[in-house]
Structure 1
Amino acid sequence: MLSKSDLADVAIAPAEVIAAVEAAYLGHAADPSGNPRKLNITAGPSISYAMLGQTNGFVGFKTSYTNNGTGEKLYYTTLGLYDEESGLPVALMDCGRIGALRTPAASAILARELAPPDTKTVLVVGTGAQGRAALPFLLTTLPQVERIMLFGSHPEGIAAVKGELRQHHPDREIEVLDDLGRACEADVVLAVAGPGTPAQIRAEQIREGALAVLVGYGVAPDVLWSADRLVATSAEQMALTGQDFAHPGTGLRLPDAELPEILAGRAQGRTGSRQRIFAYNSGMVVTDVAVGAILARAAIAQGRGKEVELWS
């Protein structure tokens, strides 16, 4: 059993997470059966998900529960990890940090594949958990970036984003924006804000050739509607979780390509330097399993967690 505190400070470099997530995507491209569609149950203000995935010698079963009806958001998520060959359980672990690592890794891979070739400026919208993790991952896949802009409404969140970046890139500085009027200067916009954000970048604020990556909130639906190309980590997952970006007249747009297919060389991402591209980053459980396996191995090797005999 590996708790949230057991996993909180297990050291893992962004490059290692990116490599694990990319390998999981390539495995999915080779055999999509390892990541079946998630199940969901909605009851009043709560929604629960169950996801099963297999990759790189492990099978994972992930659950999550969210409730927004109490005035304070409640969110719980776990990952059960099993050895693929023996079927024996390896760990039951809190999945919070796993999601906080695999999501910015996926965004960084999307940016590497889809950003304009002369990318110099990035804008991160949001300073929550995903906003804090975003920049070390983005700079791993886009080391040529010279200018970093940040929009957030919470001073403590802004300070946390700066602190996280300082740990990995002590020489880099962040420009904090008071408003989003300068969003048009960004080559890459990463929208990772929470549902209560005042940020709402509109289509006319996305410059020609730019990439907008959606993880949470921070861009308006018309950014997707007007994009020259739409790329998703998973079209199936986008159909389930992306309905708030459906056009009132034509419904939810189908992606032009999926990231695993791009990585496998079977689909194209960017096909022109002047294209505005919208990327929809939805979670795929195979990436949770891949990152969870790394964290579990490291934590167990360090003697963390509590060993449980299930069948003694």
Structure 2
Amino acid sequence: MIDTNPTPPDTGADQDLQVLSTSDLAGIDISLSDVVATVEGAYRALAAGESDNPRKLTVKPSDGHSVAYAMLGRDGNREVVAVKTSYKHGLHQRRQEQHYYTTLTLYDDITGLPVAMMDCARIGALRTPAVSALLARECARPDATGALVIGTGTQGRLALPFLLTARPELQRLMLFGTHPDGVRAVREELTRYFPQREVEVVSDLRAAVREADIVVATAGGHTPAAVESDWLRPGALSILVGHGLAPSTVHQADHIVATSAAQMNVTGTDMADEAGTLPAVDAELPGVLVGTALGRGGEDDRVFAYNSGLVVTDIALGHRFAQLALDQGLGKQVSLWR
């Protein structure tokens, strides 16, 4: 006989939820190399079949004024289950007029107890350029010396420091941006992590693309930038994070790499051709990292890489932040379940 009124579980203090705010996470010191290693570990666990990363759920009204995502995953390396939510409102408005909220809730899959709930903005701000850095490390030509970042928003500001963390041999650093405050922020972040390096702000995008071995497009949807495939030099790697690349860069690419082919087909529809289709992906980043897939074909191949977030990387980095925060006594305990 099924018990329709089961005894509720004990809701002791050990089940209290540790809530970590934006300010709690802002002061945590973590190196860029630590972030890259944490993200890479998440991809390797996924490639080994130890983790689960189902396709994200998306809700978007017909007029496109907002978008919401829900992502569930399990990091088998850390034995952590988590749910991430993301909601952005005002997509037709200027960036400063938009509203954006994202959270990550972590559970320990060994003890069955909650770990923490946190604002996920900083996690995403670090995770995404770390992924671009891994793509650059694995997919750019070994002799790459020049990099161009398009966009000066959240992702553009840390793109160069992460690229240099993964490819310290890069010599020429270029930036295309249209917002003076954003350009200044990019310079400040580069100086913070690499005080001896300088970025060259370019106005002729086409000429800059021709000189770059790595192009990282992080711009917002209103950017005037739209790099065409024939602008890219032979052997160039173009990485799409936000906007700034024209559809020809993927449709005419010699080799296509994605963090997830399934997610690219869901979130990369703005790069589809007139028939609404995207070309097949040649390799996924987790496989590239463990050597079961190629990051590029020939030396002169133009490689297109699609950087879409996988929740397992948010879980790994979020868990790392939770550990550091709890060690420092940060956050507030909430008795949500009692």
Is the CA contact (8 Å cut-off) linking 2:269 and 2:276 kept in structure 1? no
Contact 2:125 2:154 in 1 (8 A): yes
1:102 aligns with 2:127: yes
With structure 2 as the length reference, what TM-score do the two structures score? 0.90
1:77 is aligned to 102
Residue 105 of structure 1: CA displacement?
Answer: 0.5
Alignment of 1:8 onto 2:34: no
What do residues 189-220 of structure 1 show as CA deviations (whole Å, max 9, x unaligned)? 00001111111111111111000000000111
Q: Deviations over 1:171-195 (max 9, x none)?
A: 0011100120221100000000111
Contact 2:45 2:51 in 1 (8 A): no
Q: Report the secondary structure of 2:334's partner residue.
A: coil
Deviation string 1:203-254 (CA, Å, 9 cap, x unpaired) is 1111110000000001111111111010000001111101111111471112
**1:80-127 CA-partner distances (Å, limit 9, x unpaired):** 011111221111100000000110010000000000111010000000
**Corresponding residue number in structure 2 for 1:88:** 113
Q: Is 2:74 the partner of 1:54?
A: yes
Aligned pair count reads 312
- Name which of 281, 292, 309 aligns with 2:307: 281
Is 1:128 aligned to residue 160 of structure 2?
Answer: no
Runs of 4+ in 1 over 6 A off after TM superposition: none
Q: Which residue of 2 aligns with 1:140?
A: 165
User: 2 CA distance for matches of 1:290 and 1:8?
Assistant: 18
Name the structure 2 match of 1:226.
252
1:213 aligns with 2:239: yes
1:125-176 Cα shifts (integer Å, max 9, x gaps):
0000101111111001101101100000011111100100101110001110
Unmatched segments (≥5 aa) in structure 2: 1-18
Q: Percent identity at matched positions?
A: 54
Distance 1:105 1:115 in 2: 15
Partner residue in 1 for 2:185? 160
Question: Cα gap change, 1:69/1:276 in structure 2, threshold over 3 Å: closer, same or farther?
Answer: closer
Structure-1-length-normalised TM-score: 0.97
Aligned counterparts of 1:161 and 1:146: Cα–Cα separation in 2: 17
Q: Tell me the CA shift for residue 69 of structure 1.
A: 5.2
Alpha-carbon distance in 1 for matches of 2:143, 2:267: 32
Instruction: Report the CA distance between 1:32 and its aligned residue.
Output: 6.9
Q: Is contact 2:51–2:312 with CA below 8 Å preserved after alignment?
A: no
Q: Are 1:294 and 2:316 matched, yes or no?
A: no
Structure of larger gyration radius: 2
Partner secondary structure for residue 111 of structure 1: helix
Q: 1:113 to 1:301 in 2, by over 3 A?
A: same
Give the aligned residue type for 1:211.
L
TM-superposition CA deviations, 1:273-300 (whole Å, max 9, x none) = 1000000000000000000011111112
> Aligned residue for 2:43?
25
